[in-house]
Each structure stands twice: as C-alpha cells, then as structure tokens.
Amino acid sequence: MADPLYRFDCVPMNTITLPFFPLKLVAFPGEKLNLHVFEPRYKQLIGDCLLKGSTFGICVYLDKLTMYGTEVSILEVSKTYEDGRMDIQALGIRPFRIVNFRNPMGEKLYAGGEVSILEGDEFTDTLLYAEFKELMVDMLQLLGLPENEDFKRIDTYNFSHKIGLSLEEEFKLLLMRNEAERLRFLVQHLRKALPILVKMEEAKRKIQMNGYFKNLDPLNF
C-alpha cells in the first residue's frame, strides 16, 4: 500500500512547466518567504525568472523529494551581493503535484518539469472556523505575538508556521484540498498544544520568580 503522505487523489485541472527549487520547508499559498539564494544553480534559476517575469516551484523535501510543492512568484530582490548571491522575497501562490521531474531542465543547472495545479474546495464550516479562530488567537497571544490587522484575517495558512506543527504535519496540511478538513486538522492540533503551552508559560513565570526576594507576610499561630 502506498504511503498516504505521498499519495494524492486528485484529477489535475491544468498543467504548467516550472523550474524547481527543492527545500526542507512548506510554502503555503499567500505566505511571504524570505530566501537567501547562494547555490549557482538557484542563482541561475532566480535570474531566469526575473528575466522572464515567471514563477518557480518550491518542492517539499522531507527524507526525499515528495513530488509536491507550491508555485511561488518573486516579489522583490532585497539585496544582491558582489558574488551574485541574493536575498529575495517570494509569495506562495498555489500547490501542485509534480507530473514530470527533469534534472537538469534542458541545458540549465537546475531541475524542472511539468506540474498539475491542485484545485480545492474552499467551503468553510462557520462554527468550526469560529472555534479555530478563537484557539488561534489564544495561541498567538501566548506566543507573545503583537495583535495586529493580520489577527482579523486568520485562515488555515497564514499562521500555520507559528503554532508548532512539524514539517510532516505542515506537508499534510498543504495536501488537504478541503478547507473544512484543514480546519478540523488545526483545531485538533490546537486543542492538544494550547494546554501544554499554558503549563510552559506558568513554569516560566515560576522560574523567573525564583531569583527575586519575596515579601512574606508573618503567620499568626
């Protein structure tokens, strides 16, 4: 039986060709990524994308290449170094499944190939989303993140890197093409993680108090 982590039951809606940038991370749709590009093949890849105004694919690498990833676009080159290294900011667009992997891609230094875009169902369970958002706000506040406009736009992707998911769990989340399924997955994770985080914060406060002089009231016997 195939490993469910690498299986995806989906009828491809369309196919496009992308250059590939395999990384040990999951890029979520709508997420901004800061990447330091230093290998010759990936400097060439980014240079070609800038020249053509095209996108590329960040392929998820776990213990091996998973054959799934996310199409991303380059928002800006933040810095270019004398040796050709670059700091870039990219934006996740949509997930894909690799149909054809070619390494190298023609005469290029980097890999590439055809991918099928994974379409999804964005139907949201209103009650489940309300619970998810409440749990997420509690988690983000415990993590000490300042409340801002992003708190009003919490979805199943935009804070997922901050709530303690493993790389494998983030990968599973990326493969879920149903919003309600993603909500159930994250609610289950948050229900388990929040009590642990609360206990850790309580322990941290107790440890911090140990170094201070305590003003103790006398006891009357």
Asked if the structure places residue 218 within a domain, the reply is: no
Q: What is the pLDDT of residue 207?
A: 54
Q: Which of 117, 150, 183 is the last residue of a domain?
A: 117
The structural domain count of the chain equals 2
Whether 168 and 109 share a structural domain? no
Whether 95 and 179 share a structural domain? no
Whether 131 and 83 share a structural domain? no
Whether 83 and 19 share a structural domain? yes
Asked if the structure places residue 29 within a domain, the reply is: yes
Whether 16 and 109 share a structural domain? yes
Asked if the structure places residue 220 within a domain, the reply is: no
Residue type, 158: N
Residue 80: what are its φ and ψ, rounded to 5°? -120, 130
Whether 12 and 111 share a structural domain? yes
Whether 98 and 191 share a structural domain? no
Helix (H), strand (E) at residue 204: helix 179-209
pLDDT band at 204 (very low <50, low <70, confident <90, very high): low
Tell how far CA 85 is from the center of its chain. 24
Whether 55 and 136 share a structural domain? no
- Rounded to whole angstroms, how far apart are CA atoms 215 and 210? 13
- Rounded to whole angstroms, how far apart are CA atoms 139 and 196? 11
Q: Which of 87, 117, 147 is the last residue of a domain?
A: 117
Asked if the structure places residue 89 within a domain, the reply is: yes
Q: Which of 117, 151, 167 is the last residue of a domain?
A: 117
Tokens standing for residue 133:
């958002």
Asked if the structure places residue 26 within a domain, the reply is: yes
Domain interval for residue 159 = 126-209
Please indicate whether residue 66 or residue 220 has the higher confidence score (pLDDT): 66
Whether 68 and 110 share a structural domain? yes
Q: What is the mean pLDDT of the chain?
A: 84
Residue type, 55: T
Asked if the structure places residue 216 within a domain, the reply is: no
pTM score: 0.78
Q: What is the CATH number of the domain that holds 28?
A: 2.30.130.40
Whether 16 and 84 share a structural domain? yes
The pLDDT tens digits of the residues spanning 184-193 come to 999 999 999 8
The pLDDT tens digits of the residues spanning 62-89 come to 989 999 999 999 999 999 999 989 999 9
- Rounded to whole angstroms, how far apart are CA atoms 154 and 176? 18
Whether 98 and 156 share a structural domain? no
- Rounded to whole angstroms, how far apart are CA atoms 55 and 17? 10
Q: What is the pLDDT of residue 140?
A: 82
- Rounded to whole angstroms, how far apart are CA atoms 29 and 179? 13
Helix 179-209 / helix 167-175 crossing angle, nearest 10 deg: 160
What residues are paired with 172 via a beta bridge? none
How many Cβ atoms sit within 10 Å of the Cβ of residue 21? Answer: 24
Average pLDDT score over residue span 41-62: 96
Place of tokens 């000490």: 144
